[in-house]
Amino acid sequence: MRNLIIISGIIFLLACVSRSQFNAETEPFIGEWESSNGGYLAVKSDGTGDYSISNKTIKGGKITLQKDTMDISVFGIHEKLYIDGGPFEENGTKVIFINNTKFYLMQ
Determine which of 13-17, 57-61, 96-100 has the lowest per-residue pLDDT on average.
Answer: 13-17
Decide if 98 is inside a domain: yes
Check which CATH number belongs to the domain holding 57 and give it.
2.40.128
State how many domains the chain has. Answer: 1
Residues 6+ apart with CB under 8 A from 37: 53, 101
Domain interval for residue 92: 20-105
Secondary structure of residue 13 in the 3-state scheme: helix
In the chain, what percentage of residues exceed pLDDT 90? 62
Q: How many CB atoms lie within 10 A of CB 65?
A: 19
How large is the greatest C-alpha to C-alpha distance in the chain, in angstroms? 64
Helix (H) or strand (E) holding 11: helix 2-16
pLDDT bucket at 61, cuts 50 / 70 / 90: very high
Decide if 15 is inside a domain: no
Decide if 74 is inside a domain: yes
Decide if 13 is inside a domain: no
The CB-side HSE value for 87 (13 A sphere, CA atoms) comes to: 20
Decide if 3 is inside a domain: no
Determine which of 12-16, 31-35, 103-107 has the lowest per-residue pLDDT on average.
Answer: 12-16
**Digit-coded pLDDT (tens) for 20-60:** 556 667 789 999 999 999 999 999 988 899 999 988 899 99
